[in-house]
Structure 1
Amino acid sequence: MKEQFQISPSLAQMIVDAAKEVIGKDINFIHLDGKVIASTDPGRIGSFHAAALQVRKTERVIEVLENEIFKGTRKGINYPVMINQKLLGVIGISGDPEECRSLGFLLTKITEVLIKEQMIKTAVQSLDELRSSIVRMLIFENEKEDTFMNEHLQPLQYELEERAFVAVIHLQGLNNASSLFVNMKGMLIEQGIQLFTYLFPSQYVLIMNESQYKAALQILHTRFCSMDVSCSVGIGSVGVIAELTKSYAHAKLALKYALSKKETVCEYEKLDLEMIMENIDSHIRNDYTVKLIGNLAEGEINLLHTYYRHNLSLKRTAEELFIHKNTLQYRLEKIAEKTGVNPRDYHDSVKLYIALLLQTL
């Protein structure tokens, strides 16, 4: 275990995202110099957090009872992240300290577990820990240790090609994550997938060689997404081993699109307009969406999604919605009245379609 282990921003972001899913409040991870390196509130990333310096000085929990008591801080509680009696950073919950206090133990334990998993490199206890350690190193760390990779891939009897890709499986409706983990592990290995890891609370990340791409598509479609739980898969771009961090980011974008469209598998390489929109400033995306479809009810939004999925076909849209075609036309007219753009006019229809896409990003 390296004495100078540093928490990377990507790892810190994974920690705060996972913690928020469990705790339900905004979480910040602060470097020992006081800089926020990850947050579930994107606006706080890169800002200065003076309370973290107090945590570093005392190695104790610091509560902030009012906003800006310490420079750059908000109400909440900040905890030292200690691994093997070494302070690695500070993690904080934003909110009323009275409400946050009971969540502190859970937050610190989630943080410690996720960090320790990243530090497993030389003292690998099992093949499961080994494959997880390799995957996490490849997708979360900027610097890959070739010596470690070559040495520890041998027990898995697996060889990484020069080019590979990442896939993310998202599972819903989980009742027993531990038993599912055992089942998933067996299914993945059975299909010749040796590099994978479980990401709390409901995802598996897979790394496969470029030569496995076509077979992987078929396997993910037919094998894993026919299980009892709902399943969506995002497949990232193919690239050299050093760029698997990018492939992982692309896989998450593809998964986000698959979830929004209720699709089984989405490939990053087949996204086009969505990739452009993902790079539009979030405030601009939100303003455009609110302006065009902010007044529409959920049922009207779903109607539009169905309408576009059937390529503006009134007949097929009405059939899927189990309504008469005249009823559909009436509802589309009502949407035109509310939005000021007509879904049945080509140019207006494009504007609405873009708003719907932006809403899913």
Structure 2
Amino acid sequence: MVRINVDFAQQIVDSAKTIVGWNVNFIDPQGIILASTDSKRIGTYHEAGHLAARTRQTRTVYHKDEYKGSNSGINYPITMNDQVVGVIGITGEPNVVGQYGFLLTKICEVFMKEYLLEIQSYDDQQRVGKLVMALLYHDLEGIQQIMGDADILADEKYVAISYMLDCLGDGQIQRQIERNITEDLQKLELPLHVHIYPNMVVCLVPESKYKKWKQRVTAWETDFSPKLYIGVGTWEAVRHIYLSYRFSRMAMKYAKEHQFFCMFAENMNLELLLQSIDEQVQRQYVEKVCAALNAEEFQLLQNYFKNELSLQSTANEMMIHKNTLQYRLKQIYVKTGLDPRKFTDAVVLYIGVHLKK
């Protein structure tokens, strides 16, 4: 039986939400929400999903209290090899989200078929793909099946590198860039790479080949920016490469949000820590710290922090008098109880401003 792990399930729901625009859950056959774009629901029981898995029939929820742990929405059983491997659910009014049912199940089908191709094939190329997928999703059983007793990757550290293709829906350009990247990786003698639907390529680079890879980055930026963003993870033993993969995705996301072509996790420091915080906790922090601030005050703090808390530099950039800036900072203190001119309070405000962006 195909078993879906947490990381793979989260990849499915994240990609699905990007396309359909509504919160999506992946529910295991026992009714537990394995992954969700609404993080607070992960690990909770979903009765409607459980029934959909047991009956192999789509289960629609019209009212929040109709089934235990289930919000309004539609839940579709997902089968592979005539076995239910999970349920994909979309949250929202059924008469609204029902139009996405076919698309949602097709997204799952593409993911599952791609995953099975990697997992079930044993020729050389597919074996590499299966190994990379198993390493990225920390599938210890899968790794053992592929590698057997031969510890072929144990003697060298690797880094996971994630490529995001941002081609604004132009499939032809995306496929061309993906082909070029794949060909370049082959020329660099980096066979451990895999395509992850819908728009990612992930490569595992050993220390001995990293210098060659890094020399290629400038050419990629010249050829493909701004349609490509790269995130470089942390150095890990190969059996812990899933950690590097998580960090590489954080770095890749940061690169896209801040319009950097390539971002290294080791250079992110505070940003890396903040991105690893649960999204609900981030929202609560921002609400607590920044709720009283208006857009003008928020922009003022951005400029203030960008200028390293320098009153004169900030005033010059904003073309206001230094005393005016002092007055506005004092008003922020009155509103929030946090004084931007005091280091400890400035740190609290900086985190809030960063998370709100």
Report the equivalent of 2:192: 195
Q: Is 2:161 the partner of 1:167?
A: yes
Report the equivalent of 1:104: 101
Report the equivalent of 1:185: 179
- Please report how far the alpha carbon of residue 12 of structure 1 lies from its aligned counterpart in structure 2 after TM superposition: 0.8
In 2, distance between residues paired with 1:281 and 1:270? 21
Rate the CA distance shift 1:213–1:207 in 2: closer, same or farther, 3 A. Answer: same
SS at match of 2:164: strand
Q: Which amino acid aligns with 1:223?
A: A
- Please report how far the alpha carbon of residue 59 of structure 1 lies from its aligned counterpart in structure 2 after TM superposition: 1.2
Q: Is 2:6 the partner of 1:9?
A: yes
Q: Pick one of 193, 208, 219 that aligns with 1:223.
A: 219
CA contact (8 A) 1:79 1:108 kept: yes
SS at match of 2:99: helix
Gaps of 5+ in 2: none
Report the equivalent of 1:28: 25
In 1, distance between residues paired with 2:242 and 2:78? 25
In 2, distance between residues paired with 1:292 and 1:111? 39
In 2, distance between residues paired with 1:249 and 1:295? 34
- Please report how far the alpha carbon of residue 207 of structure 1 lies from its aligned counterpart in structure 2 after TM superposition: 1.7
Q: Which amino acid aligns with 1:184?
A: E
Could you tell me the TM-score, scaled by structure 1's length?
A: 0.82
CA contact (8 A) 2:45 2:68 kept: yes
Rate the CA distance shift 1:285–1:44 in 2: closer, same or farther, 3 A. Answer: closer
Q: Is 2:280 the partner of 1:286?
A: no
Q: How does 1:142-291 map to 2 (within 5 A)?
A: 142-143=139-140, 144-146=142-144, 148=146, 162-190=156-184, 192=188, 193-220=190-217, 222-226=218-222, 227-278=224-275, 284-291=281-288
Q: Pick one of 317, 321, 324 that aligns with 2:319.
A: 324
Q: Which amino acid aligns with 1:135?
A: V
Q: How does 1:329-340 map to 2 (within 5 A)?
A: 330=324, 333-340=327-334
Q: Deviations over 1:307-357 (max 9, x none)?
A: 4334334666577x6x4253x863564254135444444444333223223
In 2, distance between residues paired with 1:336 and 1:275? 31
Range with bigger deviation, 86-95 or 308-317: 308-317
Gaps of 5+ in 1: none
Q: Which amino acid aligns with 2:171?
A: A
Q: Deviations over 1:105-147 (max 9, x none)?
A: 10001001101211123437895x6655443222124214356
CA contact (8 A) 1:181 1:198 kept: no
CA contact (8 A) 1:174 1:229 kept: no
In 2, distance between residues paired with 1:204 and 1:347? 41
Alignment length (residue pairs): 346
Range with bigger deviation, 286-295 or 24-33: 286-295
Q: Is 2:85 the partner of 1:88?
A: yes
Identical amino acids, percent of aligned pairs: 28
